[in-house]
Amino acid sequence: MFGYNNSIMNSQEQGLLEALSQTNTYVPQDTLENEIRNNQVNFGEVPEDLDLEFLKNFTSKGGKFVYCENKEDFKEKLNIFLTYNEFGKSLVWEDNLFDHIKSFLDPTLKLERLPDESKVAISTCDYLVADEGSVILNTSQNQFRTLTVFPDLHILVANRSQVRFHLEHAVTDYLRQHQDAFPFLLDLSLEEKPARFAVNKPVLKSRGTKNIIIFYCEDDILG
């Protein structure tokens, strides 16, 4: 548990506690601790070459990686990849990603919102965990992965701004964006690992295919 002492609390912590004390709402201890922690923790600036550490650890577990220099490079390489492998139908269920890919997709290729006849799935992800080569997904990104009709191949679209040092770093930033939803960890390790926790929160396992390709871009393709 993340502890604190009233005698050494900083002004930010005291302000948070005073605001909570003026309400009648019960706040669980771990929620309070996480709120204080999320406003304190600074993991430092992410170095530009941290993505190389992620790449090494991710590919060592069998993951595949396609580097895209920019948005136009991503469009070209995704079209080539889908056409060459004869993936006529791709599952894309996130609205913003669906609309973006549809805007440049080769007319011979189709997008589907349900995994009935799709040969490949394409989604975004939230964070890339450098020190272990794993990926953090949110609830929406993970929602179809356990279905038996989910494609065997899953393409994840990511960019440099999503690389984090380690699991605690990734989950801390995740909780700032998704306070009411647990993160899912996509780990390609063959051995079954015990339950994981970070920042006092359980990190759920993303079950489903481990046949993963990351299309990694310098910039956010949706930005």
Q: In what order do the strands lie in the sheet with 120-124?
A: 64-68, 211-217, 153-159, 120-124, 89-91, 110-112
Q: Give the separation between CA 125 and CA 59, rounded to whole angstroms.
A: 17
pTM above 0.85, yes or no: no
- Structure tokens given for 123: 């989604």
The terminus-to-terminus CA distance of the chain in angstroms comes to 37
Per the structure block, which two tokens stand in for 25? 């709402």
Report the sign of the C-alpha dihedral through residues 142, 127, 34, 2, in that order.
positive
Q: How far is CA 13 from the centre of its chain?
A: 29
Count how many domains the chain has: 2
Which domain does 17 fall in, by range? Answer: 7-40
d(CA 161, CA 127): 9
How confident is the model at residue 117, as a pLDDT? Answer: 87
Q: Is 1 within the bounds of a domain? A: no
Say if residue 97 is in the same domain as residue 179. yes
13 and 112 inside one domain: no
Mean pLDDT by 10 residues, the chain (223 residues): 40 52 50 52 81 97 96 97 97 98 97 93 98 97 95 97 96 92 94 86 94 96 91
Q: Are 55 and 65 in contact (CB under 8 A)?
A: yes
Place of tokens 């609205």: 95
Q: Are residues 56 and 153 in the same domain?
A: yes
Tell me, yes or no, whether 111 lies in a domain.
yes
Q: What is the pLDDT of residue 33?
A: 55
Same domain, residue pair 26 and 121: no
**Beta strand pairing call for 110-112 and 134-137:** unpaired
